[in-house]
Amino acid sequence: MQYDYSKLIGRIIEKFGTRSSFAEAMGVSERTLSLKLNSKIPWKQPEMEKAANLLDFPLGDIQVYFFALKVQRD
């Protein structure tokens, strides 16, 4: 299953300027963040909570940022 992280990526850029800065704040490598944003490895619940805090959005919005499905085009 592929997730659409475009809203999350936009928020990362808005708040941190670069994915690299966000990865550092999260305590993960740029590679790990890239794998997560490309649906190659899953996000863990504590990581989602930490990201919500760092990106300043309510925990109730986690679904919007982490569980939007990519639309497949035929």
Residues whose CB falls within 8 Å of the CB of residue 11, separated by 6 or more in sequence, listed in order: 55, 57, 65
Quick one: average pLDDT of 11-36? 98
Q: Phi, psi at residue 3, to the nearest 5°?
A: -105, 150
| Per-residue pLDDT at 74 exceeds 90 | no
Put simply, whether the predicted model's pTM sits higher than 0.95 gets the answer no
Residues whose CB falls within 8 Å of the CB of residue 9, separated by 6 or more in sequence, listed in order: 19, 37
Q: How many other C-beta atoms are found inside a 10 Å radius of the C-beta of residue 61?
A: 13
Domains of the chain plus CATH, in order, are 6-66 (1.10.260)
| Per-residue pLDDT at 2 exceeds 70 | yes
Q: Can you give the pLDDT at residue 14? A: 97
Which of the four pLDDT bands, split at 50, 70 and 90, describes residue 72?
Answer: confident
| Per-residue pLDDT at 52 exceeds 70 | yes
Q: Which residues pair with 21 in a beta bridge?
A: none
